[in-house]
Amino acid sequence: MSTDLHPFDRAVALSATGVPNQYQGTASPDYWNMVGPYGGITAASLVQAIQQHPQCLGDPLSITVNYAAAVGPGAFEIEARPVRTNRSTQHWLLTLTQPDAEGQPQIVTTATAVTAVRRQTWSVSDMPMPEVRAAAEVERVPPLFKASEWLTRYEMRFVDGILPREEDGAERDSLTRLWVRDNPPRPLDFASLAAVSDVFFPRAWLRRSRRVPAGTVSITVYFHAGREELAEAGDGLLLAQARGQEFRNGFFDQTAQLWSQSGQMLATSHQIVYYKE
- Over residues 182-211, the pLDDT tens digits come to 999 999 999 999 999 999 999 999 999 899
Whole-structure pTM value = 0.95
Mind listing the domains of the chain with CATH numbers?
Answer: 7-118+134-275 (2.40.160.210)
E strands in 70-183: 75-85, 89-99, 105-116, 154-160, 176-182
Q: What is the pLDDT along the chain (277 residues), one digit of tens a residue?
A: 556 899 999 999 999 999 999 999 999 999 999 889 999 999 999 999 999 999 999 999 999 999 999 999 999 999 999 999 999 999 999 999 999 888 899 999 999 999 999 999 999 999 999 999 999 999 999 988 877 999 999 999 999 999 887 888 778 899 999 999 999 999 999 999 999 999 999 999 999 989 999 999 999 999 999 999 999 999 999 999 999 999 999 999 999 999 999 999 999 999 999 999 7
Residue-level pLDDT at 159: 97
Closest CA to 80 of 45, 106, 105, 108: 45
Alpha helices for the chain (secondary structure H): 7-11, 39-52, 190-196, 203-208, 227-233
| SS3 (DSSP) at 44 | helix
Angle, CA of 196, 24 and 81, to the nearest 5°:
80
C-alpha span between 266 and 164 (Å, rounded):
29
